[in-house]
Amino acid sequence: MSEKYITRSTAIAAHMLGGEMMVMSATDSTFFTLNEVATAIWQAADGRTPLSEIVSHAVCDQFEVEPEVARADAEQFVEELSGHGILLVSDGPIENSYSVPVEGS
């Protein structure tokens, strides 16, 4: 399986509220409230860190979850958000990637 790299789109609005990240796509106005695990993935999505490393360090090290389950859930999460243009996915590091400012963080 090839490695995936993810970064946050600039065409979004995001706000941290009470430990949950709220994200809205400027493209189709889809709104998501991310749980703690999804928020950890979201915050680590810098375009330079492979998704497998994000899962290992931001999910498995912080939450009690089996690596296989965490990988499958992360893949599904990334697929759903990338389908709405909220996350960008690549087979290699994403150049010119930067952290999108998040209100309330």
27's tokens = 């493209």
CA 51 – CA 36 distance, rounded (Å): 17
pTM greater than 0.95 (yes/no): no
Q: What is the pLDDT of residue 77?
A: 96
Q: What is the pLDDT of residue 96?
A: 66
In sequence order, what E strands does 1-105 have?
5-8, 12-17, 20-25, 31-34, 46-50, 87-90
Digit-by-digit pLDDT tens for the chain (105 residues) are 579 999 999 999 999 998 889 999 988 899 999 999 999 999 999 999 999 999 999 999 999 999 999 999 999 999 999 999 999 999 999 986 544 444 554
Contacts of 76 (CB under 8 A, 6+ apart): none
| Residue (of 55, 44, 56) closest to 87 by Cα position | 44
Domains of the chain by start residue, with CATH: 5-90 (3.90.930.60)
